[in-house]
Amino acid sequence: MGRQSYPKNVRDFRRRFSIPHGCLEYLIQSRWPDGFVCAKCSYTSAWLNSKRYVFQYRRCRRQTSPIGGTLMHRSHVPVHEWFWAVYIVATHTPEISAVQLQPQLGISIDMTARHMLHRSRKGMVTENRSHLSGLVEADETIIGGPATRKRGRGVMAAMHKTLMIGAVEVRSHEDNKAGTRCERASRVRPLTLDNAGEASIRNFLMHNIEAGSTIRTDDWRGYSDATLVGYTHRVRVVRTQERAHRAAPHIYRVFSNLKTWLNGMHHGVEPKYLQSYSDEFIFRFNRRNTPMAAFKTLIGIATQKTPLTLPDLLNGSQL
């Protein structure tokens, strides 16, 4: 049993996923690409109840639904409408809001659209994603606008400011016209932080960058020898704020695009929602060259995620 291919365009999507049966078959392929295995007894023999579309294992009699334990679990929205929502969220450029999603799905209740959108956003990050490697740029930024009479990393004492650290893989390629090698940004990882101390930075690097990689940073003291143990460190000294972008130009550009996107699409974001919105932006950025494949990725991650509840949405505890 192999994985299903992803739809190449809207016509292909509608042909395959206009009814629940096609969506459930796709979920089965995504969740159990090597065949069914019971989570309770590890038995592989099961039969399909075609009326309820659940699998019942012959040994323990346990029943398993293709949507059980996924982002679609216990949702009153039909599975084929969930697929359409995920497809829109994954492929819409640059982003879609709950207000825009609502008429696309034919939903009359705004909270339902918001709930579906935020569940989809939660599915944009997987804990098992591979680490960045090779040459990686790392830097921090402040999200929330300019601070008054404050300088440096100490700016976090200001209200509504959020510190974020980011890292981006840097790949080089040959520019045939210019006859030189050029750099380009590849995958990105962002994370909101309470502070830019050595411990916080070290924890971020260890969880996101492969050991032995080369990390390029500015001369901030948080990137000390102790912080960069296990990595090759390249430091670019920054003399003035105007030249700060030269130390790590690729992550600087990512941060700039992120801020423009947040201000343009959302007119600013509360600190408790920033990580969720940043994850959405980076999900699209990392798949900017293969937007249609983003649907397959998002559905695959969604089958491994626990659902976001309405209380979680209202208090922002998991956003």
Residues 257 and 170 in one domain: yes
Strands (E) across the chain are located at 46-49, 54-57, 63-64, 135-143, 162-175, 180-193, 214-217, 232-235
Flag the least confident range among 32-36, 251-255, 265-269, 298-302.
Answer: 265-269
Residue 58 clears pLDDT 80, i.e. is over it = no
Residue 94 in this model has a pLDDT that exceeds 70? no
- The predicted structure's pLDDT at residue 244: 64
Look at residue 151 and tell me whether its pLDDT is greater than 60. Answer: no
Looking at the structure, do residues 113 and 53 belong to the same domain, yes or no?
Answer: no
Task: Report the candidate in 283, 285, 314, 311 with the shortest Cα–Cα distance to residue 296.
Answer: 283
Domain limit, last residue, from 66, 85, 118: 66
pLDDT at 11 over 70: yes
Which residue is associated with the tokens 């509504």? 160
Domain of 140 in residue numbering reads as: 135-269
Same domain, 198 and 257: yes
Tally of domains within the chain: 3
Mean pLDDT of 132-157: 73
